[in-house]
Amino acid sequence: MKSRSTPDTLFAVVALFFVTLSMLFLLLTLGSVLLDGWPRLDIGFLTGYPSRVATRAGLLPALVGSLALGVLVIVIAVPVGVASAIYLEEYAPRNWATKFIEFNMANLAAVPSIIFGLLGLQLFARYLGLGRGLLAGALTLCMLVLPVIIISSREAIRAVPRSIRDSSLALGASNLQTVWHQVLPVAFPGILTGSILALSRAIGETAPLVALGALTYVPFLPSGLLSEFTALPIQIFNWISRPQEAFHVNAAAGIAVLLVLLLTLNSAAIILRARLQRKLTL
């Protein structure tokens, strides 16, 4: 319905103006960061170790740390998250217990990330004896992204047409067989997308790992699950915190690497989902 009123068009213009303004701000600042960091990006930077000398400092331990954390989070959080989603969608009766579980999940999704770091510090690092290691960090991140995985998996499972379930059950399959052989394959693209988005969230997190005790100056590669580690955002944070301009350039380069990594992940999520969905539509 086209509006003939001037205040209407004025409002639309103002709203669009705000949107463009924020986008422009983002574009300019991000572009500036990338421009600052670009000259610093070279093989030496990507394969080097942190150093007190800015021009010799490198990103390798941070990269390896982030990748290791990412793999661990996927391996731990996705099965648990999908299992929870399956239970909540396919098995849970609509009673107070289920409502309580869902309420808790919604609550956890809104808890500040640093609180999870404190949880990880006491529970994983101290009580479970995992120290400030990779596994403790990964578990902490898992607690953080689990609500995201569960919510997106639930939506994916919910989107599976009822007819598929019904026909499977009509052919004599049990609930579990229906879920495993029919529902999950159809819901897989959505689950995959959700997991990749959760992964990008985990890779970008700094606060919980800092609270856990991930060190900011780590001139070595992590050697095992209990080994101390650093991650990309933490290294960037460390470099930003230094007063020397040269370290800020390093930080900008680190940001460029981080953003490229996240962009790749998100694009992969979108592309994979499109291709898998095309394959599944009959």
Partner 1 sequence: MVLSGAAYAKPPEPTEAEVHPEAELQPREYRAVVSARRRRRERVIEGLLFLSASGSVVTTALVIIILLEEALQFFRKVPLSTFLTDTQWTPLFYDKHYGILPLVAGTFLTSGIAMLVALPVGLAVAVYLSEFARPATRSIIKPLMELLAGIPTVVYGYIALLMVTPFLQRLLPDVAGFNALSAGIVMGLMILPLVVSLAEDALYGIPTSLRDAAYALGATRLQMVWRVLLPAAAGGISAAFILALSRAVGETMIVAIAAGQVPNLTLDPRNSVETMTAFIVQVSLGDTPHGTMEYRTIFAVGAALFALTSAMNALSLYLKGRFGRFGQ
Which of 67, 76, 184, 201 is close enough to bind partner 1 by CB under 8 A?
Answer: 201
Question: Of 147, 144, 92, whose CA–CA distance to 118 is shortest?
Answer: 144
Give me the least distance between CB of 72 and partner 1, in Å please.
17
d(CA 229, CA 219): 9
Asked if 180 and 90 count as a contact pair (C-beta separation under 8 A), the reply is no
Q: Is 236 in the site for partner 1 (CB under 8 A)?
A: yes
Asked if 145 and 202 count as a contact pair (C-beta separation under 8 A), the reply is yes
Range 40-79, binding partner 1 (CB under 8 A): none
Give me the least distance between CB of 279 and partner 1, in Å please.
19
Q: Is 227 in the site for partner 1 (CB under 8 A)?
A: no
d(CA 220, CA 234): 15
d(CA 153, CA 156): 5
Which of 64, 134, 136, 197 is close enough to bind partner 1 by CB under 8 A?
Answer: 197
Range 155-184, binding partner 1 (CB under 8 A): 155, 158, 162, 165-166, 169, 172-176, 178
Q: Which stretch binds partner 1 (CB under 8 A): 23-31, 52-60, 64-72, 221-229?
A: 23-31
Asked if 138 and 146 count as a contact pair (C-beta separation under 8 A), the reply is no
How many helices and strands in the chain, by DSSP H and E? Answer: 12, 0
d(CA 150, CA 83): 9
Q: Which stretch binds partner 1 (CB under 8 A): 38-46, 55-63, 110-118, 222-230?
A: 110-118
Site string for partner 1, 237-276 (x = CB under 8 A): x--xx------x--xx--x--xx--x---x----------
How is residue 80 written in tokens? 């648990």
Which of 51, 55, 104, 167 is close enough to bind partner 1 by CB under 8 A?
Answer: 104
Give me the least distance between CB of 204 and partner 1, in Å please.
3
